Structure 1
Amino acid sequence: MTTVRRRRPGRLLALLLTSTVALTLCAAPPAQAAGATAAAKPGRTGPATPDIVDSTPGGGQALALTFDDGPDPRNTPRLLEVLREHRVKAVFCLWGEHVRQHPDLVRRIARDGHTLCNHTMRHDDMSTWSAADIRADLRATNAAIRDAVPRARIPYFRAPYGAWGQTPQVAADMGMQPLGWRLAVEDWEPPGTGELVRRLEEGAAPGAVVLLHDGGGDRSQTVDAVDQVIPRLQAQGWHFTRPARRG
């Protein structure tokens, strides 16, 4: 004799509800599904592109401060103090060998909430390098940064000397947006703090990414100029933000 097992009403109701929910989710229009994904991952705007970013996302009276060639034990700590005092976040384009020498400074940069950028291992001109050689260098630089700050987010790459060659495509393939600039005050040849302040004030343009340095030499004039110019520009209605994330 075969025994027929009856489903309990409660269990049958639960199965019906589960099936209804599944069908509803499958029938959701693409726009709704995309919206759900965006809500789950705020701020995600797609993969990096080979386009070189040189502006802020919203334009207007906004500037993005970026600092190359650090970290440097003479200049970077004081610069971080200045930025903290004025409540400004910046991008630090890190030289890989300097990262290995001063990992504590990289940790401090990250801890203060600044953005990290790959600026190659030894600041070489890569304009004639093969894609394979570029990729190897960028990987080594990222590894050095992540040795100092495990799982660090490195959203940007900047080519030394602005000599791009094949680097934009390689960087984009590795998830890093190429980062250029629209205002360079040429602080690599220190002209005096007052002159740097003048160049920053007169060169300020809506949405510009600003190229400055905290490493590669004596950058005390740069730090002094940043300390002076931030409140001056803020008084004129400017604010400081990060560069655009996509080209």
Structure 2
Amino acid sequence: MIRRIKLPGWIVIVFLLFGITFGVNQAIAQVLKESSEPNEPNEKIADSSVYPGLNIKTKTKETNLYTFSVSQPYTENKQINKPIDEWIDQQKKEFTTSIKEHKNTLEENDFRAHLNIQLETEKIADKIYTLEFEAYHITGGANGMTKMKSFVIDLNQNKLLQLDDVFQLNEASVKDIQKLILDELHSNQEISIYIFDDMAEKVLKDPEKWEWSVSRKGMTFYFDEYEIAAGAAGAIKVEIPMKKIKPYLNKKFAEKIDVKIPEKEKGKEEEQHPEDIAKLDPDGKYVALTFDDGPHPEVTPRILDTLKKYNAKATFFMLGSQVEYYPSLAAKVAEEGHEIANHTMNHQDLTILGLNQIKEEVRQSSNIIEKATGKAPTLLRPPYGASNSDVEKAAADLEAPIAMWSVDSFDWKSRSAEAVNEEVMSNVAPGSIVLLHDIHPSTADALPQLLTSLDKQGYQMVTVSQLLELWNEKGVGPHYGKIR
């Protein structure tokens, strides 16, 4: 016999179900809320960017359920920012939807979902840039999903360039370009066996749906996974050399990119002298402050000023993607005597990458940092502190000791100067390595009081390498520093 639930009982059940659903949705929605902070209406573009008129923000988040890292460029022009922001937001929405669908599986398998949106920027003429995005997300299974998107922006005209701004579009030229793309697809032996010609021809039929970018070397056309080929081919990039594509270019645009851009003036490089690492007193009170995710055009200079005022040295774990935009700022960090270290190129969770991919993330960042600062970083800090045997092997092969931390300031979470100081001073001990980030204004706000408090307790600020030498710690690590 089925017993009917009276009206009050139904109301209680409905509210319980609503509360559970709302709670789950609210928790997962943080990936959108905390990573979609809009640019301020009159946000100033930093003069220190190597790409005039163009800046970048790297936004990261870590929870028990997921991690993400998003490289987000922006200009002072809302009409240029809008389509870029909309595409990035769409990737985040797809990611959160997938998390909801796989939440139980993620928890059962103790696996964290991951979203990484990385950016490559190329200057092709004065204030004309190609922005190439690659979005990768994984929420379970053996493989994730990769999507690619590009934008060509002309800051002289304050507009996103469309296909007809670049090409002379007519029926004949469109057919010729389609053939160039198909020929290139079939000439690549690694992917040709996976291509579905009918799908490729259907996608190429409508030029308005082409995903493309342009550089001085030629044109690149992009296809998402499964769009024109079997999944084994992955996301596909087709590159057409300029000598083949040039006959179809819009004349005005061709003139712009043919103008020879003078190479950047190279000032006389000052002779580099490795700093002598002072021998530390084994009984001394030392702490190593470390700053991740920079350099940031507004926050890093404030931190440098404070460190200089207190005669304190620190270690900066830099992202290659940030240094690419702000090389002069990275150089300033080095010039002021701070230790320069590697935080990878794109802040990916290295534990979900293969060994060669891990090495490439480290090498690419290292090359950019060395070019900017004149110093090759030796220490490596994996993003999110995520490490496994492949990460350790890559670090060993590249002779890059892994430096973690023993005190987390949680500045990335609290965004409060007072909370940062309380967290650090409650947990610091002689030999601690403290995790901070030079991308949050609140961290710069916290630093003067933090250094004052550490000084009053007799601490001296040193670099991570100085601590490792004091302890005679060698090898790949990971090295964590001392805790209470």
Same fold flag (TM > 0.5)? yes
Aligned to 1:184: 408
Please list, as runs of the form range in 1=range in 2, the aligned pairs for 1:1-247 lying within 5 A after superposition. 58=282, 61-150=285-374, 152-165=375-388, 166-215=390-439, 219-243=440-464, 244-245=468-469, 246=474, 247=477
Give, in whole Å, the separation in 2 of the partners of 1:109 and 1:168.
27
The structural deviation recorded for 1:117 is: 0.8
Give, in whole Å, the separation in 2 of the partners of 1:57 and 1:223.
29
Given the superposition, is the C-alpha separation of residues 57 and 118 from structure 1 closer, same or farther in structure 2, using an over 3 Å criterion? farther
Cα shift readout 1:192-224 (whole Å, capped 9, x = no counterpart): 211211111111112110000012xxx111112
Give, in whole Å, the separation in 2 of the partners of 1:70 and 1:82.
16
The structural deviation recorded for 1:132 is: 1.1
Give, in whole Å, the separation in 2 of the partners of 1:71 and 1:191.
18
Give, in whole Å, the separation in 2 of the partners of 1:57 and 1:181.
21
Q: Runs of at least 4 residues of structure 1 off by over 3 A?
A: 56-60
Matched letter for residue 380 of structure 2: F
More displaced 10-residue stretch of structure 1: 155-164 or 193-202: 193-202
Matched letter for residue 231 of structure 1: T
Answer yes or no: is the 8 Å Cα contact 1:117–1:156 preserved in 2.
Answer: yes
Answer yes or no: is the 8 Å Cα contact 1:68–1:214 preserved in 2.
Answer: yes
The structural deviation recorded for 1:175 is: 2.1
The structural deviation recorded for 1:91 is: 0.5
Give, in whole Å, the separation in 1 of the partners of 2:396 and 2:327.
25
Matched letter for residue 214 of structure 1: D
The structural deviation recorded for 1:171 is: 1.6
Give, in whole Å, the separation in 2 of the partners of 1:77 and 1:71.
9
Unmatched segments (≥5 aa) in structure 2: 1-275, 478-484
Unmatched segments (≥5 aa) in structure 1: 1-41, 44-55
Given the superposition, is the C-alpha separation of residues 187 and 64 from structure 1 closer, same or farther in structure 2, using an over 3 Å criterion? same
Give, in whole Å, the separation in 1 of the partners of 2:336 and 2:396.
26
Root-mean-square deviation (CA, aligned residues, Å) is: 1.9
Please, what TM-score do these two structures have when normalized by structure 2? 0.38
Cα shift readout 1:137-180 (whole Å, capped 9, x = no counterpart): 11111111122123x13120000001112222212321211010
Answer yes or no: is the 8 Å Cα contact 1:106–1:149 preserved in 2.
Answer: yes
The structural deviation recorded for 1:103 is: 0.4
The structural deviation recorded for 1:225 is: 1.2
Give, in whole Å, the separation in 2 of the partners of 1:119 and 1:59.
31
Matched letter for residue 453 of structure 2: R
Given the superposition, is the C-alpha separation of residues 57 and 153 from structure 1 closer, same or farther in structure 2, using an over 3 Å criterion? farther
The structural deviation recorded for 1:128 is: 2.4
Answer yes or no: is the 8 Å Cα contact 1:58–1:207 preserved in 2.
Answer: no
Given the superposition, is the C-alpha separation of residues 57 and 140 from structure 1 closer, same or farther in structure 2, using an over 3 Å criterion? farther
Give, in whole Å, the separation in 2 of the partners of 1:161 and 1:79.
22
Matched letter for residue 241 of structure 1: V
Matched letter for residue 462 of structure 2: T
The structural deviation recorded for 1:68 is: 0.2
Given the superposition, is the C-alpha separation of residues 211 and 59 from structure 1 closer, same or farther in structure 2, using an over 3 Å criterion? farther
Query: Aligned to 1:147, what secondary structure does the other structure show?
Result: helix
The structural deviation recorded for 1:191 is: 4.2
Higher strand proportion, which one?
2
Give, in whole Å, the separation in 1 of the partners of 2:456 and 2:398.
39
Aligned to 2:157: none
The count of aligned residue pairs is 190
Identity score, percent = 33
Cα shift readout 1:50-100 (whole Å, capped 9, x = no counterpart): xxxxxx994752110000000000100110000011011111000111000
